[in-house]
Amino acid sequence: MNQQSKHASILLLLAILLLSLNLRPAISAVGPLIQSISQSAGINSVGISLLTTIPVLMMGLGAIYAGRIRQLLGERGGITIGAITIAVACFLRLWGGNAFGLFGSALLVGLGIAIIQALLPGFIKRNFGTRTSSVIALYSTGIVAGAAIGSGAASWMEDHFGWFSALASWSIPAIVAAFVWISASRSSLYEGRSSFSSAGPSVPFWRIPRCWSLLLFFGIGTGAFMLAMAWISPFYIGLGIVKGEAGILLSVLTVIEALTALWLSFTINRFPDRRGLLITSLLLVATGFLLLMMAPLVAPYLTVALLGVGIGILFPLSIIVAMDHLKDPTLAGNFTAFVQGGGFIIASLVPLTAGGLNDVFNDLSYIWALMAIASLSMLVVAVRLSPQSYVQFQKDLLGVQPERLQVT
Q: What percentage of the chain has pLDDT greater than the value 90?
A: 28
Between 193 and 137, the higher pLDDT residue: 137
- Residue 357 and residue 362: Cα distance in Å, rounded? 7
The length of the chain is: 408
Give pLDDT, residue 408: 36
Of the given ranges (32-41, 142-151, 248-257), which has the lowest mean pLDDT?
A: 32-41
Give pLDDT, residue 4: 64
CATH of the domain at 347: 1.20.1250.20
Do 249 and 232 contact (CB within 8 A), yes or no?
Answer: yes
Give pLDDT, residue 400: 62
pLDDT interval class at 287 (50, 70, 90):
very high
State which of 5-14, 149-158, 176-185 shows the largest mean pLDDT: 176-185
Give pLDDT, residue 101: 83
Residue 204 region by backbone torsions, left for phi larger than 0, else alpha for psi between -120 and 50, else beta: beta
367 in a structural domain: yes
Give pLDDT, residue 399: 67
For 11-39, how does the pLDDT look when each residue is reduced to its tens digit (9 = 90+)? 999 999 999 999 999 988 887 787 788 87
200 in a structural domain: no
- Residue 143 and residue 261: Cα distance in Å, rounded? 9
Between 172 and 162, the higher pLDDT residue: 172
Total-model pTM: 0.77
Give pLDDT, residue 197: 47
Q: How far is CA 272 from CA 210, 380, 389, in A?
A: 19, 19, 13
For 232-249, how does the pLDDT look when each residue is reduced to its tens digit (9 = 90+)? 888 898 888 887 788 788
Distance between terminal CA atoms of the chain?
25
Range of the domain at 113: 13-185+205-400
405 in a structural domain: no
Give pLDDT, residue 318: 84
- Which of 345, 408, 377, 387 minimizes the C-alpha distance to 110? 345
Give pLDDT, residue 398: 67
Q: How many whole angstroms from its chain centre is CA 89? A: 18
198 in a structural domain: no
- Helix pair angle (329-361, 365-377), 10° resolution: 150
Kindly report the number of other CB atoms within 10 A of residue 275's CB atom. Answer: 17
Give pLDDT, residue 163: 82
The stretches of 129-162 forming alpha helices (DSSP H) are 132-161
64 in a structural domain: yes
Kindly report the number of other CB atoms within 10 A of residue 293's CB atom. Answer: 18
* 221 three-state secondary structure: helix
Nearest-10 Cα torsion for 115, 116, 118, 124? 150
For 33-72, how does the pLDDT look when each residue is reduced to its tens digit (9 = 90+)? 877 888 777 777 788 788 888 998 888 888 788 778 888 8
Looking at the structure of the chain, the number of domains it has is 1
- Residue 127 and residue 190: Cα distance in Å, rounded? 8
Q: What percentage of the chain has pLDDT greater than the value 70?
A: 92
Q: How far is CA 292 from CA 126, 130, 182, 194, 306, in A?
A: 41, 40, 43, 50, 11
144 in a structural domain: yes
193 in a structural domain: no
32 in a structural domain: yes
